[in-house]
């Protein structure tokens, strides 16, 4: 990595432009792991994914595999999916229900709260304190309205401080339920992208591409979602700071003034839901909630985004000597810049459409 770039981080990011090395340099990737993924709060999953005692689901914090578990006593645990003996994964299933985990390498067995229960050939470990050999846990765990976050840092800002203004988006989503709670029961849309992890988050908050990239599905579904991304759209892209962003379509939905148009339906098709909402919030408040709809801030949108090593990206952007990759205005596809530049335009909504308050 260029020594000047390594010592002068301000050169990497300029108004409306970023340096291509942010997407493939090893040194930058290591800094991101240390200072972002292993220091801040990271969304792990939702408590409804482990609704029953002994339920578990495989997750991750950056490249570190984690098990989200509801243990035998009903407590939620975040366990590192790594045997303390030789570092082997103790669970290779994506989800399931079990009271214990057994490492397939040397048969060390752990309770689903992390305690070491036993190991093979125990006579070889006579006098060993098992309480010190349990599965490691994520240092901190916090729950905001059912959304489980973890932090590998033992100390630091609280989850509420970290979320800041993004709490409003989570509140908005939960308020679309008459009970103020949601369940994740329909599964997930899984996809893999051979790219640096930041491309995924940038794409999620890029309002410039949907009308072109997703035009066919919008037409098949006869959806009005294209209105959100047209030249005359009033939806906005917003940054809350600390990595939290959103595409906020509420101005567009409020202009329509039609409850549940965001969901592609109408109030008369869901009378029971409307009745429950009116009873829970009152007619005026319920109507506003059903007009605004709900979504997730992009820092929460992906349940466990994989963190790719920069080497995974090299075949896509080419070696650094050919000129750093830059992000085109449309958001996703990297382009090659002349070697003496290295700064590309940031994607997103057209100029003037960002950070407007509603």
Task: Tell me the per-residue pLDDT of 87-105, one tens digit each, with 9 for 90 and over.
Answer: 999 999 999 999 999 999 9
Closest CA to 234 of 257, 211, 252: 252
CA R_g for the chain: 23
What are the tens digits of pLDDT across the range 107-153? Answer: 999 999 999 999 999 988 888 999 999 999 999 999 999 999 999 99
Residue with tokens 């917003």: 238
What are the tens digits of pLDDT across the range 202-261? Answer: 888 888 888 888 888 777 766 677 777 778 888 888 889 888 988 898 998 999 999 998
Q: What is the mean pLDDT of residues 317-339?
A: 29
Domains of the chain: 1-41+164-249+295-358 (no CATH), 47-156 (2.102.10.10)
CA–centroid distance for 62 within its chain: 10
Burial class (CB in 10 A: 0-12, 13-18, 19+), 152: buried
Which residues does 2 contact at the CB level (< 8 Å), separation at least 6? 21
CB atoms near residue 91 (< 10 Å): 22
Residue with tokens 């990011």: 13
Q: What is the mean pLDDT of residues 44-72?
A: 96
Q: What is the mean pLDDT of residues 175-198?
A: 85
pLDDT value at 303 more than 50: no
- Return the beta strands (E) in the chain as ranges: 13-14, 17-19, 42-46, 55-61, 64-70, 76-80, 95-97, 100-102, 109-111, 116-118, 140-144, 147-151, 236-241, 244-248, 325-327, 334-336, 343-345
Residues in the chain: 358
């Amino acid at each position: 990595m260029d020594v000047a770039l390594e010592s002068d981080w301000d050169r990497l990011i300029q108004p409306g432009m970023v340096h291509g090395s942010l997407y493939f340099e090893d040194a930058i990737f290591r800094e991101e792991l240390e200072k972002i993924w292993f220091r801040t709060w990271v969304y792990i999953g939702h408590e409804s994914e482990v609704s029953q005692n002994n339920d578990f689901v495989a997750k991750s914090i950056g490249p570190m595999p984690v098990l989200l578990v509801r243990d035998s006593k009903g407590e939620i645990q975040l366990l590192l999916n790594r045997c303390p003996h030789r570092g082997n994964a103790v669970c290779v299933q994506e989800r399931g229900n079990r009271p214990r985990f057994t490492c397939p390498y040397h048969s060390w067995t752990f309770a689903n709260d992390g305690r070491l229960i036993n190991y093979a050939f125990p006579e070889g470990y006579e006098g060993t304190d098992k309480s010190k050999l349990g599965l490691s846990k994520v240092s901190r765990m916090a729950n905001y309205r059912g959304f489980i976050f973890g932090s590998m840092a033992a100390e630091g800002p609280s989850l509420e401080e970290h979320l800041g203004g993004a709490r409003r988006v989570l509140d908005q989503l939960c308020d679309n339920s008459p009970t103020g709670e949601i369940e994740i029961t329909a599964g997930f849309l899984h996809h893999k992208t051979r790219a640096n992890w930041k491309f995924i988050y940038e794409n999620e908050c890029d309002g410039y591409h949907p009308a072109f990239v997703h035009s066919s599905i919008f037409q098949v579904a006869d959806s009005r979602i294209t209105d959100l991304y047209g030249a005359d759209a009033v939806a906005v892209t917003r940054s809350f700071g600390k990595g939290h962003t959103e595409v906020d379509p509420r101005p567009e939905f409020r202009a329509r003034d039609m409850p549940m148009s965001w969901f592609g339906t109408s109030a008369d098709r869901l009378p029971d839901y409307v009745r429950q909402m009116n009873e829970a919030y009152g007619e005026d408040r319920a109507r506003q909630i059903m007009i605004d709809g709900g979504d997730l801030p992009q820092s929460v949108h992906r349940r466990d985004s994989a963190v790719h090593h920069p080497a995974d990206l090299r075949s896509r952007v080419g070696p650094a000597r050919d000129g750093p990759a830059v992000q085109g205005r449309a958001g996703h596809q990297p382009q090659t810049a002349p070697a003496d530049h290295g700064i590309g335009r940031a994607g997103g909504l057209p100029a003037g459409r960002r950070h407007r308050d509603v």
